[in-house]
Structure 1
Amino acid sequence: MNPSARRGGTLRFVRTDDFDSLDPADTYYAYTWNFIRLFGRPLVGCTTGEDGGPRLVPDLAEALGEVRDGGRTWTYRIREGVRFEDGTPVTAHDVRYAVLRAAFPEHVYGRPAARGGPAYFRQYLAGPAGVQAPDDRTVVFRLNEPFAAFDRIASLPATIAVPRGCDTFPDYRLHPVSSGPYRIALYAPGEALELERNEYWRADTDPVRTALPDRITVRLGVSGPEVDRLLLDGLADIDLAGVGVQPETQARLLADPGLRSGVDNPRTGFVWLYCINQHIGPLANVHARRAVQLATDKAAMLAAYGGEHAGEIATSLLPPSMAGHVPFDRYPVGPDGTGDVAAARRELELAGLPEGFATRIAARTDRRKEWNAAVALAEGLARVGIRADLVPFGSGDYFTKAVGVPAYVREHGIGIVMFGWAADFPDGYGFLQQIADSRAIKETGNQNLGELACESIDALLDTGARTLDEKERADIWTAVDRAAMDEAVMCPYMFVKSVLFRGKRAANVTMSPVYGMYDYAVLSVVEEEAAG
């Protein structure tokens, strides 16, 4: 939308809170992964294919992985001509170090270090020796078992090169060294970020980024309504979060033909769900967890996000766009979506809790729609005697210091966590593994928030990871979805559509099939911002 070849100008983002972390080893927010590509280049990139779906392309590497040993060994060659912001060449040794610091920080630093990113490399590499750089341009990954989709793992931020001499962990997040078209000029956490051009970037080495703007700014710590106002008044171009406008703004946009030209309403691949921790009080009983699912007023929770333009009621984990999605409804909440109170009460009887029980719901107050959905959830549960108190958090440390820390969750008796999820990479494994595999449970930055631990699910995930046949893989992801829902630790309530609003200056607007928001690697502006 709004195509333009114009070079120059300042692209202006705005956001309610901060990035979770700009350190590529320590990030898990989708908008951070989308944005971090502006200054960091992983081995493999992803663009939009002709069918509108994701298309893997070599990024820092000159080709996709060379596979040997039945999928146990993957080799990548680093492109020539890629340089860091200080002019030094990016080498295979920098990529090896980046992966080691992400996957095996105790090996790098001599001590454990909390990491908030996914654990795929730690899980699949054959220990620290599983990543080698035999020369300046070759990176070799040796896996402890075959993995058919390793190119997709090589596209994650953990393969963004990090020069060892510049690693200031834990402060590396404040100024990660650029290997992309932009470098960090200013970062004031919670307030502002500014990117300027990396003079050593060469367009002929980069098939992913267009790098048309001269500068990119991010205004942080702005309230949700203020974000919308800045977009509407032309003082910002893009909401960094990419999850849509406030409900009251949405109503205004959809009612005004003049404003609708700046509105996009795509399916995103995201699923809003909540997780039920099976180690918290009565929720250890599967019938208590099933009672929660059946009593959920999904219609009210959908309304909290803005109704039909915000999405549709979900009944399974895998979204409709994902291979392996098969419609089924393990916990039907009635034709109107408001909950099956009678069925929930029967499950409470089976749990030995006919009068209900008390628990706590964690939600983020700076994500107003999520908070309102949590209120709607609590009200729905109250109808069957489940008394759920809301516990407020901010987004910045939600996973790294609170709900993603199992010890914290247990200490504070948080039985239910509000959550949103999309695939780490566009594959059923990328969607399911981190939230359903017992081996993905981490001490911090945990995403398996229900602490689901089921050997049969783990085995299915392992089988799917090795399976090259796409139809067989899809059938396995369907089986994982059904098995996970039977355990009742996750309740998907909404397949997400976003009501996004872009400023009039935004050009080359394309939806990312990976991140479910605008593709930040190709955005530009058509004119300079108005004076003042």
Structure 2
Amino acid sequence: MRPQSLISRRVAAAAVSLVLAGGAAACAGPQSGEDTKDKGGNAVGAPGKPQKGGTLTILNAEPQSDFDPARLYTSGGGNIPSLVFRTLTTRNRENGAEGTKVVPDLATDTGRPNADATEWTYTLKDGLKFEDGTPITTADIKYGIERSFAAELSGGAPYLRDWLVGGEKYQGPYKDKKGLDSIVIPDAKTIVFKLRKPEGDFPFVATQTQFVPVPKAKDTGVKYEEHPISSGPYRVVSNKNDGERLSLERNPHWDPKTDEERKAYPDKVEVYSGLDSAVINQRLSTSAGPDSAAVTTDTNLGPAELAQIGSDKALADRVGTGHFGFTTYLAFNPKVKPFDNIKLRQAISYAVNRTSVVNAAGGSTLAEPATTFLPEQKVFGYTPYDHFPAGPSGNAQKAKELLKEAGYPDGITVTLTHSTQQNRQTSPEVATAVQQGLAAAGITVKLQGLENGAFNEARWDVKKTPGFFISRWGADWPSGGPFLAPIFDGRQIVTNGSNYNHAQLNDPAVNKEIDEINKLTDQSAAAQRWGALDRKIGEQALDVPLFHPVYKRLVGKSVKNVVISDWTGVLDVSQVSVK
């Protein structure tokens, strides 16, 4: 997953930064006039029935750059791309766990697999049109996928390169006019994908922007991002400074009868980016003028802001709470001594003071302590376990006993590498909290802080990976597969690029189980297997889960119909009303 505020790269991509692939018809979001509630059961946003009209303002810190479906990553830019782009499938636009389901979008269902899930077939709905009124066909979807393979349009999720037959060699339509034989279009409404191996999670991948239809005649290559052709409820009017200032207005050829997910209440959407986070939250709090109809898709509230809001009920009623599949953890590289000693890894696992770590991450309102690698959501396959019960503040006595068994009766000094970026996840404050907790058990921790770019380079380079460091992982969709496979599948160890299997675990039994689960198209059955695998891997003490983040975001005082799913953890801009 991509290492950014929420989300996922090679599942960050191979995600930071999820669910039941069924054939059920798309479910609508909250019904008109229904109060939207956060995970605590509290109503969020302005009361009253949502109405069409008005202008939605989005205030963000990060620009919505690379606004080309080939270059966008699943979680990038919050929900903004889904206002313009539609895909074969999409996420269910509902609150909480219901929002982790895959539902049809351009397709009539979530996909029809063959017996071993190596082939998936989709049929397009009737009446689909681009912003210029021309019909959307499967040829447009095939071309949109193929152009995502072009080197000049890199940046999107990598799954299709790994999954499609011939995908690893294909260079895109600008170099290879023939196209991918593994994407078959028998007719204008049918498309078939032929995979190298079983992939029960394919309906989740079909939600990604690489599946956005692109008319070949309108493709302008690297300039396409300036005016991509809309298949969704809004079209791009202007795109300035690579997404820093983005203006959207209604697409007159979008038919809501073909789209049960996007409500598209506002007439216009104005995106302002490159803003300071404190300024964003202050503007949302004050809600003056256009800011009363404003939201953010990338800026969280901090501890100090939450403390201030807590004493103001009117403001508190405008704070939405979100959960995204994400884990911050201590990572070990057993190839580096002394971390090849499992007794030492176990000692560290017992010594961690999670209360101090959670406080360093913003407190219990913004972080939930973790003892499992998988997030605490059923859809991932969450199975409770705590192989090294440290309690809230660490078990120093048990850690000392294991240190003695490891050959360090007088304690040991180790180095913990972390990022110097203030992100409340791998920050110096979190590192210091770990340091203090381990000190009680006789483990002296020297902190090595690296600038974020250097930190990522170190932890992802298999030749440079430190023996002990703080890492984080988020899934590109709500399933155990994109959470566990990149971190623990030995075949995903990358020796000449970004490697996420920090422990370099290459256990044939683990690899085989991953393959077996990937064959399952019953996501409930798959989730149970992912949870069991997480529990089994956890016995090896290859990591120490620390916490799962919680997202708290403020909306303007006129914003209604706040929907926050467990897929993204943030407000869904396709659902809000500002009148």
Output the TM-score relative to the length of structure 1. Answer: 0.83
Does residue 147 of structure 1 match 2:199? Answer: yes
Name the stretch that deviates more: 77-86 or 301-310: 77-86
2:16 maps to which residue? none
Instruction: Supply the RMSD in Å over aligned alpha carbons.
Output: 3.5
2:42 maps to which residue? none
1:6 maps to which residue? 51
From 140, 143, 146, the counterpart of 1:97: 143
Superposition pairs for residues 230-379 of structure 1, below 5 Å?
A: 230-234=283-287, 236=291, 237-241=294-298, 244-266=300-322, 268-274=323-329, 276=331, 278=333, 281-282=336-337, 285=340, 287=342, 289-323=345-379, 324-332=381-389, 334-338=390-394, 340=396, 343=399, 346-347=402-403, 350=406, 354-362=411-419, 364-365=421-422, 367-368=423-424, 371=427, 372-379=429-436
Report the 3-state secondary structure (helix = DSSP H, G, I; strand = E; otherwise coil) of the residue aligned with 2:392. coil
- Inter-CA distance 456–89: structure 2 relative to 1 (3 Å threshold): same
Superposition pairs for residues 409-488 of structure 1, below 5 Å?
A: 410-411=463-464, 416-421=469-474, 423-440=475-492, 448=501, 451-468=504-521, 472-488=525-541
Identity of aligned residues (%): 27
1:530 maps to which residue? none
Aligned residues of 2:335 and 2:503 also touching (Cα < 8 A): no
Does residue 44 of structure 1 match 2:89? Answer: yes
Superposition pairs for residues 9-20 of structure 1, below 5 Å?
A: 9-19=54-64
Aligned residues of 1:246 and 1:369 also touching (Cα < 8 A): no
Distance 1:382 1:474 in 2: 38
- Inter-CA distance 163–345: structure 2 relative to 1 (3 Å threshold): farther
Distance 1:139 1:293 in 2: 49
Distance 2:312 2:214 in 1: 48
More RCO (CA 8 Å, sep 6+): 2
2:175 maps to which residue? none
Distance 1:456 1:515 in 2: 32
Superposition pairs for residues 399-410 of structure 1, below 5 Å?
A: 403=456, 408=461, 410=463
Distance 1:135 1:252 in 2: 59
Distance 1:454 1:20 in 2: 39
Distance 2:108 2:471 in 1: 40
Report the 3-state secondary structure (helix = DSSP H, G, I; strand = E; otherwise coil) of the residue aligned with 2:314. helix
Report the 3-state secondary structure (helix = DSSP H, G, I; strand = E; otherwise coil) of the residue aligned with 2:185. strand
Shift of 1:325: 1.6
Name the stretch that deviates more: 279-288 or 228-237: 279-288
From 199, 222, 234, the counterpart of 2:252: 199
Deviation digits for residues 423-481 of structure 1, max 9, x if unmatched? 43333324433443344456666655555443322221211121355564233112221
Shift of 1:345: 8.1
Distance 2:104 2:276 in 1: 38
Deviation digits for residues 216-257 of structure 1, max 9, x if unmatched? 223323333222212101154222126x31110011112322
Distance 2:431 2:219 in 1: 40
Deviation digits for residues 329-382 of structure 1, max 9, x if unmatched? 1333x32334647617845973879532334213543x3565343443355456
Report the 3-state secondary structure (helix = DSSP H, G, I; strand = E; otherwise coil) of the residue aligned with 1:514. coil
Distance 1:73 1:458 in 2: 22
1:73 maps to which residue? 119
Shift of 1:115: 4.7
Report the 3-state secondary structure (helix = DSSP H, G, I; strand = E; otherwise coil) of the residue aligned with 1:492. strand
Aligned residues of 1:313 and 1:495 also touching (Cα < 8 A): yes
Aligned residues of 2:562 and 2:576 also touching (Cα < 8 A): yes
Superposition pairs for residues 512-523 of structure 1, below 5 Å?
A: 512-523=565-576
Q: Which has the higher helix share?
A: 1
- Inter-CA distance 183–279: structure 2 relative to 1 (3 Å threshold): farther
Name the stretch that deviates more: 176-185 or 36-45: 176-185
Aligned residues of 1:25 and 1:117 also touching (Cα < 8 A): yes
Distance 1:225 1:50 in 2: 27
Report the 3-state secondary structure (helix = DSSP H, G, I; strand = E; otherwise coil) of the residue aligned with 1:94. helix
Shift of 1:523: 1.6
Distance 2:56 2:119 in 1: 41
Q: What 5-or-longer segments of structure 2 have no aligned partner?
A: 1-35, 37-46, 168-180
Counterpart AA for 1:358: T
Shift of 1:387: 1.3
